[in-house]
Structure 1
Amino acid sequence: MGSGIQKMEALLRLTAISMLVLTACLVGFDSQTKVVFYIEKKASFKDLRALVGLVYVTSLAAAYNLLQLSCSSFSARCKGSSLQSCTYLAWLRFVLDQAAVYVVFAGNLAATEHALLVVTGEENFQWVKWCGKYSRFCVQIGGSLLCGFGASVAMIFIASISAFNLFRLYSPTKFMHLKPKS
């Protein structure tokens, strides 16, 4: 059973890594240039701060998941060592996985909100609609946001697995007592 869970976690981490890298690349390399009245205008992800933040967040989350994937062999060997050190490691993985999910999801939501303002425009702030002029730019940002939310879903399952791995160490009858070593 433990081996199957480890394989599923590794598969989910690989999926999340690929989707996070795809998100960062789609956003980071997205730009479109148009000529308007003999003046070249360029739309880039750097024009929207939420998209710059999304590139950083998804890059860091991909690096974190890659690090966890490489460290999973170390935690698999934790069975022979003391239960107390395994508990600390399980708590650390649980907290870091939770934080990674929340940060990636929040970054995607902020970028989505900013992208929605670009699509609809806001006359009170004199923000014009970009998607009429820069349609390829907007489509590529939309695709990257979908990949980011897909990565968030994969990371939610990863966090669920880390929660399972943590709380199976505790006794079901005594609150917050470690199971006796068998």
Structure 2
Amino acid sequence: MRAGMELGLSEISVFLRLSAILFLVLTACLVGLDAQSKRIFYTERKATFKDLDALMVLVYVESAAACYNLLHLCKRSISTWFEGYSKWSLCVSWVILLVDQVAAYITFGANLAALQSAVFAVTGEKDFQWMKLCNRYSRFCIQIGGGLLGGFVASLLMALLSSISAFDLFRHYSPKRFLFLKSA
């Protein structure tokens, strides 16, 4: 019964990682390749993701998180060749949990920072004399909005992966092992 549950959890983890990679790459591509040009008073002005620092950070964070998930899937496929429980696998489980949590928090934070910048681009800010960008570059803003939506879905998937990593780590511990009790 337990082996079936572990196999199911492993398959769910692989599916979630593949889905997270898909959404992370989609977000990075939508935001990073987005550009729109407009002629304003005889000059050509081009809006790109490099105009807002938060969008640049978002592209880099989402790309790094996608690479991490891809490396984790490669590690998982290689580790199936070396079955068995050891202290080494326990240490690796701790590292995976910590990196999964860091990746989840950083992707969520980068998405929130990009969302805040996008809100300023939509509404403007009179106190800082920032003008609205989305009334001139509407296609650019719609594509950024789609990228942010994909980024939040990826963040949710990363949070789910972090909880699965926590379960995978803490299932190695038992009360008898923790208290150094021997079974009778």
What TM-score, normalized by structure 1, do the two folds share? 0.92
- 2:72 is aligned with 1:68: yes
Aligned to 2:121: 118
Partner of 2:27: 23
Instruction: Give 3-state SS (helix, strand or coil) of 1:40's partner.
Output: strand
In structure 1, list runs of 5 or more residues that go unmatched. Answer: none
Q: Deviations over 1:44-93 (max 9, x none)?
A: 110000000000000000000000011112444564242x1121011010
Read off the aligned partner of 2:19 and give its amino acid letter. T
Alignment-mate amino acid for residue 6 of structure 1 = S
1:106 aligns with 2:109: yes
Aligned twin of 1:95: 98
Q: Which amino acid letter does the alignment assign opposite residue 71 of structure 2?
A: L
Matched, 1:132 2:140: no
Q: How does 1:33-72 map to 2 (within 5 A)?
A: 33-72=37-76
Q: Counterpart of 2:44 in 1: which secondary structure?
A: strand
Change (3 A) 1:124 1:138: same
Q: Distance in 1 between matches of 2:83 and 2:37?
A: 57
Identity percentage of aligned residues: 52
CA distance, structure 2, for counterparts of residue 51 and residue 13 of structure 1: 23
**Conserved in 2, the CA contact under 8 Å of 1:101 and 1:155?**
yes
Q: SS where residue 119 of structure 1 aligns? A: helix
**C-alpha distance in structure 2 between counterparts of 1:151 and 1:79, whole Å:** 30
User: By how many angstroms is 1:9 displaced?
Assistant: 0.5
Query: Structure 2: how far apart are the matches of 1:118 and 1:179?
Result: 61
Counterparts of 1:100 and 1:179, CA distance in 2: 37
Runs of 4+ residues over 3 Å off in structure 1: 74-79, 176-180
TM-score by length of 2: 0.91
Structure 2 residues not aligned, in runs of 5+: none
* Distance across 2 between alignment mates of 1:26 and 1:80: 42
